[in-house]
Amino acid sequence: MKNGAQEGDPVLERFHFLVNAPALFNAVTTAAELRIFAFLSERSGARAEEIQVFCGLPPHQLRVLLQAVCATGLLDRREGIYHNSRVAEELLAADDEPDSWGHILTGWKEVYYPAFSHMTTALRAGTNTALAAHPGDEPTLYGRLAHNPPLEEVFHRAMTAFTLRSVDALIEQPVFDGVRHVLDVGGGDGSTSARLVARNPLLRSTVFDMPSVSRLASDAEAGTYPDRVSLMPGDIFTDPFPTGPDAVLFSHVLEIFDEDSILLLLSKAYAALPTGGRVMVYGYNVSDDETEGVFGARLGLYFNVLASGRGMAYPARDYERWLRKAGFEEVSTVSGLPYEHGLSVGVKP
Ligand SMILES: C[S@@+](CC[C@H](N)C(=O)[O-])C[C@H]1O[C@@H](n2cnc3c(N)ncnc32)[C@H](O)[C@@H]1O
């Protein structure tokens, strides 16, 4: 081996894994789409011949696929019988549930990863050139998806699944104690709000998102709370924030934009809130020294190559600085939440 890189060096091992990861990602996604994890879960394991009858792949192609998924560790094979690993059982077996990782994999396959082949061009150009693959003239992916309802559904199913996997850390925070009415800005299909009102019986929520997205909310979990989750279709930049709520939540929203837009949204929140009202910024944070965070890395690249041409999973100290600049006090962050998440909070004096 040249240049001193040693077998056993964890960086070398990680390099070898990551250069093969795009193929393995697609193998796992294909296995999920063929419902192999669900089948193995129902049967508590199966032989290749049984999996072949179930999914219909030619035997040789199934052999290749099963070897790849076993190489990831998600499946194992003991005495010729394939089993789900514990992780596959927990993340992928219940594939008809709204929080299945299967939806996330399909969303990343259909939306994120085709765009990443444009990364060098987009980063050089300083804008989201991969957006050209999506019809429309809106400057962000969120606007353009309205022209492609099937893809918009895939996208929001993936986002909802991820939200449901990460929302518990948010709804358990004491910062919601005493809040009566939250404005959930960019609240998507209302899944976060539905979980919030389920957990806090005196709370109601207004979900503010684009009209095409608001339409998805009635069929999602939010539709089960028609009296306590209301929808406000509109544009969060050009339409005013309603007054009345005593808290404003930005969940996975501010990171899409640059500093000027973030300050504009925080100022709108400040203007709409009463004295003592709280603003909450929930989402991915890279580490303060900007060297750690694989979820944050993927997200920042996705924003810049495809979604908005700007933004990143900012470190918490950036949000704290912007909250103070917008006039909020008692600014603090709960960091280290699952999936590299943090919650930064401020209070209107
Ligand atoms: C990453 S998603 C977050 C959804 C939800 N808050 C969550 O945590 O799952 C960002 C949301 O912001 C919405 N959004 C982006 N730009 C918007 C705009 N200008 N007006 C209204 N909604 C917008 C998108 O439609 C999308 O639902």
Give the atom of ligand 1 at the shortest distance from the alpha carbon of 250: 6
CATH 1.10.10.10 positions along the chain are 10-91
* HSE-CB of 307 using CA atoms within 13 angstroms: 22
Neighbours of 64 (CB within 10 A): 12
The two beta strands, 341-347 and 278-284, are: antiparallel
Say if ligand 1 is within 6 A of residue 213 CB: yes
**pLDDT at site 261:** 98
**pLDDT at site 1:** 52
Six token digits for residue 143: 């606007």
Six token digits for residue 292: 């750690």
Which protein residue has the closest C-alpha to ligand 1 atom 3?
Answer: 252
Six token digits for residue 278: 């709280």
CA-to-CA distance for 75 and 82, rounded, in angstroms?
7
Which protein residue has the closest C-alpha to ligand 1 atom 27?
Answer: 188
Task: Tell me which of 128, 134, 210, 241 to substitute to probe ligand 1's pocket, judged by most ligand atoms within 8 Å of the beta carbon.
Answer: 210
Distances (CA, A) of 108 to 114, 162, 231, 284, 324: 9, 11, 27, 17, 35
Burial of 1 (0-12, 13-18, 19+ CB in 10 A): exposed
Q: In angstroms, what is the span from residue 208 Cα to ligand 1's centroid?
A: 8
**pLDDT at site 318:** 98
Say if ligand 1 is within 6 A of residue 280 CB: no
Say if ligand 1 is within 6 A of residue 203 CB: no
CA-to-CA distance for 48 and 79, rounded, in angstroms?
11
* HSE-CB of 216 using CA atoms within 13 angstroms: 23
CA R_g for the chain? 22
CATH 3.40.50.150 positions along the chain are 141-347
Say if ligand 1 is within 6 A of residue 159 CB: yes
CA-to-CA distance for 68 and 63, rounded, in angstroms?
9
Residues of the chain whose pLDDT is less than 70? 1-3
**pLDDT at site 220:** 75
CA-to-CA distance for 199 and 179, rounded, in angstroms?
12
Q: In angstroms, what is the span from residue 209 Cα to ligand 1's centroid?
A: 6
Q: How many residues does the chain have?
A: 349
Q: In angstroms, what is the span from residue 84 Cα to ligand 1's centroid?
A: 35
**pLDDT at site 214:** 85
SS3 127: coil
pTM of the model: 0.93
CATH match of 10-91 with 1.10.3720.10:
no
Say if ligand 1 is within 6 A of residue 186 CB: yes
SS3 42: helix
Strand order across the 75-78 sheet:
46-47, 81-84, 75-78
Say if ligand 1 is within 6 A of residue 107 CB: no
Say if ligand 1 is within 6 A of residue 163 CB: yes
Which protein residue has the closest C-alpha to ligand 1 atom 16?
Answer: 142
CATH match of 141-347 with 3.40.50.150:
yes
CA-to-CA distance for 119 and 305, rounded, in angstroms?
6
Question: Do 40 and 84 meet the contact criterion of CB atoms below 8 Å apart?
Answer: yes
